[in-house]
Amino acid sequence: MLDIEHVTKRFGKHTAVENLTFGVRPGVVTGFLGPNGAGKSTTMRIAVGLTRPDAGKILINGRPYEKLAAPLNEVGVLLDARAVHPRRSAYQHLAVLATTHGIPLRRVDEVLGLVGLSEVAGRRPGGFSLGMSQRLGIAGALLGDPGIVILDEPVNGLDPEGIRWVRRLLRGLAAEGRTVFLSSHLMSEMALTADRLVIIGRGRLVADVTTAELTAQHRPALRVRTPKAVDLLALVPGAADPADAQLVTITDRSAEAVAELAARHQIPLYELTPVRQSLEDAYLELTHDDVEYTLEGSTSR
Amino acid sequence: MTTTGLTLPRIVSAEQRRLRTLRSTWWFATSAAVLTVAIGVFPAIGVAAGALPADLENVGPLGGALTGLSITELIVAAFAVLAVTAEPAAATFTAVPRRASVVVARATATGAAVLALSLALTFGTFAAAHLLLSSAGVDLPLTAGVARSLSGAAVYLSFVAVLGVAAGWLLRGAVAAIAAVLSVFYLLPVVGLLLPDAIAEAVLPWLPSNAAAALRDPAPTLEMLTPWIALTVLAAYAVGAVLLASAAVRRRDV
Ligand SMILES: Nc1ncnc2c1ncn2[C@@H]1O[C@H](COP(=O)(O)OP(=O)(O)O)[C@@H](O)[C@H]1O
Ligand SMILES: [Mg+2]
């Protein structure tokens, strides 16, 4: 259990996190979502005591991180996969961390096996690909077999195979009753992994919803071209396109339902295209005003 | 099974592993050993080869064993500073959020490693000089004063290491930190000389460089601190530097 309570962090005049409050519960995967610069990494760094908040606090099972007697056994964290000494072998990097807690070194071999790095255990991380570094970072997070796992953009740099592996791993950890908190700036990624989404923009909470709720709020629509547009709209909810008499947008109906209905009423369809407003769209809509850096000329929705 | 969790001995042990699992540590040790011994036996070789008169006057009571010390000191300063500035701090401090214990443990591990190596090097170089000189018929006795001097030089190098670790934490940049450590020994005494005589006389013996000299010199002069006081003074400076570094590291964002 992770409690973020009224956390504010400023860097000079810039407010990176503003009065942020939410909880992360065990047993589910909680996704922390927001555009680049939204304050996700800052919040996670505050959680593990690397950054000092200007106001508020983050509690780990009711206690601040600094007060934990065995932090690695309570919280596993991956912040910046590249932040390891480039010339100390992967094995020894983990062995140093394990030694601080008296974690037996056989656990190092175990987690290296778990993330698929056994064969390169003796190699220096300086020569690792980003994907291998991420795996080493995840190995470090799992070292103490912690009840809480905090991962900042863990799938960055992973290939599709690796992404699927992380997803399975995280779902497995949550199923074991652990608290899993991971960040991403990509909705598509989160929709598949997270049960719950905490969405922030410019350091402020934008939404705290279950993935299912968010999906439900944003139903798919159908783009239909038919010479009998008026007849069709009499049968189903939707709207005619003001510019094109043959074009209608139908909501709250599946493509199959509309096709069968049209066939029964002998309405010819020239086109039937699902224009799903994806979670991605929902997310962009939620955070659009909060995107800190927009490319010039690409501010369209 | 013993319970897992943070303890200071475990943190120190992790810091020792941190040092020995980098190849660069062994390179530093090797270059320190080669240079200290090679430069340190040079005067004795001069005597043995007949280039210098076969007389202890020419090489001093240490047989010249500490001639290479200022080079060793540079190597130790660089090693200690890099033990901090080359290590990414985030992974360290998430494992050990009590940052002061990391600062203390790293200073302990680095200082102890340097002390062990330095003792081997100063006494080893002296032994080599002893052998070379006796081949020329010159006796180089290991008196209590000589032993104190050789140990004092090792303590001094260990002190440089602790200062290097503290400077690494305080300044974060390797170049700035090495420069800071060296200025303690090369710049501070010069500044001291600019003070009015009365003040200089009272202050100078207490400078780290002069306290170290009191430990290291085989024949301390009268205005120097006695060895035990000098040892206490260096220890106090080392503790002060580590406390200062801990306070700075504790306060800032990593
Ligand atoms: N150490 C720092 N110094 C100054 N500004 C920072 C620092 N860390 C983060 N920021 C700023 O804080 C904001 C939030 O950053 P971050 O938490 O990294 O966002 P995210 O992880 O969501 O992309 C950004 O505007 C970033 O530039
Ligand atoms: Mg980030």
Residues with CB under 5 A from ligand 2 (ion): A 41
Confidence band, pLDDT 50/70/90 cuts, at residue A298:
very low
In this complex, do A87 and B22 lie within 8 Å of one another by their Cβ atoms? yes
Contacts of A18 (CB under 8 A, 6+ apart): A8, A39, A202, A203, A204
Judge whether A14 is closer than 8 Å to chain B, CB to CB: no
pLDDT at B134 > cutoff 80:
yes
Q: Give this prediction's pTM.
A: 0.87
Average of pLDDT values for B71-79? 97
List all residues 6 or more positions away from A45 whose beta carbon is below 8 Å from its beta carbon: A51, A79, B253, B254
Q: Give the residue from A210, A232, A264 where a domain finishes.
A: A210
Percentage of chain A surpassing pLDDT 90?
67
Interval B135-147 mean pLDDT: 93
Q: Do residues A201 and A227 both lie within one domain?
A: no
Nearest-angstrom CA–CA distance, A60 and A47: 8
pLDDT at B81 > cutoff 80: yes
Is residue A31 a part of any domain in this protein?
A: yes
For residue A191, what pLDDT is reported? Answer: 83
Mark whether A21 and A162 lie in a shared domain: yes
Interface of A with B in 140-159 (CB under 8 A): 140, 144
Instruction: Tell me: do A204 and A225 sit in the same domain.
Output: no
Q: Does B253 touch chain A (CB under 8 A)?
A: yes
One-letter amino acid at B158 equals S
The 10s digit of each residue's pLDDT in B223-239 is: 889 999 999 999 999 99
Which of residues B29 and A246 earns the better pLDDT score?
B29
Strands ordered across the beta sheet of A2-11: A14-24, A2-11, A55-60
Domain assignment present for A134 = yes
Q: What three-state secondary structure class fits B87? A: coil
- Say how many CB pairs under 8 Å bridge A and B: 90
Q: What angle do CA B103, B106, B108 make, to 5 degrees?
A: 105
Q: Do A100 and B10 touch (CB under 8 A)?
A: yes
Q: Tell me the CATH number at A123.
A: 3.40.50.300
Q: Which atom of ligand 1 is nearest to the CA of A153?
A: 21
Measure CB to CB from residue A77 to each of B4, B11, B94 and give the nearest one. B94
Query: What is the model's pLDDT at position A157?
Result: 82
Name the residue at shortest CA distance from atom 26 of ligand 1.
A37
Query: How big is chain A by its Cα radius of gyration, in Å?
Result: 24
Q: Are B115 and B158 in contact (CB under 8 A)?
A: yes
Confidence tier at A300 by pLDDT (50, 70, 90): very low
Calculate mean pLDDT across residues A68-91: 96
pLDDT at res. A289: 65
Structural domains counted in chain A: 2
Mutate to test the interface with A, among B1, B4, B82 (most CBs of A within 10 A): B4
Q: Is A130 in the same domain as A13?
A: yes
pLDDT of residue B200: 86
Region B21-44: mean pLDDT is 96
Average pLDDT over residues A201-229: 84
pLDDT confidence tier of residue B1, bands split at 50, 70 and 90: low
Does residue A68 belong to any structural domain of this protein? yes
Residue A286 clears pLDDT 80, i.e. is over it? no
Q: How far apart are CA A234 and CA B245, in angstroms?
A: 77
What pLDDT shows up at residue B239?
A: 98
Report the pLDDT value the prediction gives residue A187, as an integer from 0 to 100: 84
**Is A73 in CB contact (< 8 Å) with chain B?**
yes
Closest atom of ligand 1 to CA, residue A152 = 21
Best substitution site from A7, A8, A11, A290 to test ligand 1's pocket, by max atoms within 8 Å of Cβ?
A: A11
pLDDT at site A278 = 62
Whether A41 lines ligand 1, by a CB cut-off of 6 Å, is: yes
How far, rounded to the nearest angstrom, does the alpha carbon of residue A288 sit from its chain's CA centroid?
17
Does an H or E element contain A249, and which?
A: strand A247-251
> End of a domain among A165, A190, A210?
A210
Flag whether pLDDT at A301 surpasses 60.
Answer: no
pLDDT, greater one: B3 or A295: B3
Let me know whether A130 and A195 are in one domain.
yes
pLDDT in tens, A10-30: 999 999 999 999 999 999 999
Provide, as residue numbers in chain A, all residues whose Cβ is less than 8 Å from the Cβ of B90.
50, 79-80, 83
Q: Which atom of ligand 1 is nearest to the CA of A42?
A: 17
Is B86 touching A (CB cutoff 8 A)? yes
Buried b / exposed e over B209-220, threshold 16 CB at 10 Å, is: bbbbbbbbbbeb
Task: Verify that A232 and A174 share a domain, yes or no.
Answer: no
* Domain-embedded: residue A174: yes
Is the Cβ–Cβ distance between B207 and B189 less than 8 Å? Answer: yes
- Region A217-246 average pLDDT: 83
pLDDT of residue B198: 86
Q: Any idea which ligand is nearest the CA of A20?
A: 1
Q: Is A37 in the pocket of ligand 1 (CB under 6 A)?
A: yes
Q: Where a domain ends, among A190, A210, A230?
A: A210
Query: Same domain, yes or no, for A163 and A270?
Result: no
In this prediction, residue A290 has a pLDDT band, given cuts at 50, 70 and 90, of: low
Number of the ligand closest to the Cα of A42: 1
C-alpha A104: how far from chain center: 32
Instruction: Give the pLDDT band (50/70/90) at residue A295.
Output: very low
Looking at the structure, tell me whether residues A155 and A51 fall in a common domain.
Answer: yes
Classify residue A297 as left (phi > 0), alpha (psi -120 to 50) or beta: left
Specify the 3-state DSSP secondary structure of B70.
helix
> In this model, does residue B59 exceed pLDDT 90?
no
- Given the cut 0.90, state whether the ipTM is greater than it: yes
Averaged pLDDT of chain B: 94
Q: Answer yes or no: do A206 and A226 share one domain.
A: no
- Point out the least confidently predicted range of A38-47, A97-106, B175-184, B200-209: B200-209
pLDDT of residue B92: 95
Note whether residue A83 is domain-resident. yes
Percent of chain B residues topping a pLDDT of 70: 100
Query: Is residue A44 located within the same domain as residue A86?
Result: yes
Domain of A25, in residue numbers: 2-210
Residue ranges of alpha helices (H) inside chain B are 8-20, 23-40, 42-48, 69-85, 89-95, 99-135, 144-171, 174-186, 188-194, 197-203, 208-216, 227-251
Across the interface, whether the CB atoms of A49 and B87 are under 8 A apart is answered no
Q: How far is the CA of A53 from the centre of ligand 1 (A)?
A: 13
Whether residues A133 and A262 share a domain: the answer is no
- A49 CB near a chain B CB, below 8 Å? yes
Q: Distance of CA A39 to CAs A35, A42, A134, A196, B170, Å?
A: 9, 5, 21, 18, 28
Range with top average pLDDT, A188-197, B110-119, B223-232? B110-119
Distance CA B234, CA B246 (A): 18
CA A36 to ligand 1: nearest atom: 23
- Name the more confident of B199 and B37: B37
What residues contact B116, with CB distance under 8 A and at least 6 apart?
none
Lowest mean pLDDT among B10-19, B53-62, B147-156: B53-62
Which DSSP letter does residue A144 get? T
pLDDT above 50: residue A294:
no
**What distance in angstroms lies between residue A199's CA and the mean position of ligand 2's atoms?**
13
Q: Is the pLDDT of residue A143 over 60?
A: yes
Q: Is A34 in the pocket of ligand 1 (CB under 6 A)?
A: yes
pLDDT higher than threshold 50 for residue A297: no
Is residue A290 domain-resident?
A: no
Please determine, for residue B95, whether its predicted confidence score (pLDDT) is greater than 60.
Answer: yes
Q: Does A15 lie at the interface with B, CB-CB under 8 angstroms?
A: no
What residues in A contact B22, CB-CB < 8 Å?
85, 87-88
Residues A71 and A161 in one domain: yes
Indicate the average pLDDT of chain A. Answer: 90
Q: What is the pLDDT of residue A192?
A: 84
Q: How confident is the model at residue B29 (pLDDT cuts 50, 70, 90)?
A: very high
A38 lines ligand 1 (CB under 6 A): yes
Q: What is the pLDDT of residues B164-223, one digit of tens each?
A: 999 999 999 999 999 999 999 999 988 888 888 888 888 899 999 999 999 999 887 878
Chain A residues with CB-CB distance to B2 below 8 A: 102
What is the torsional sign of CA A86, A87, A89, A92? negative
A228: CATH? 3.30.70
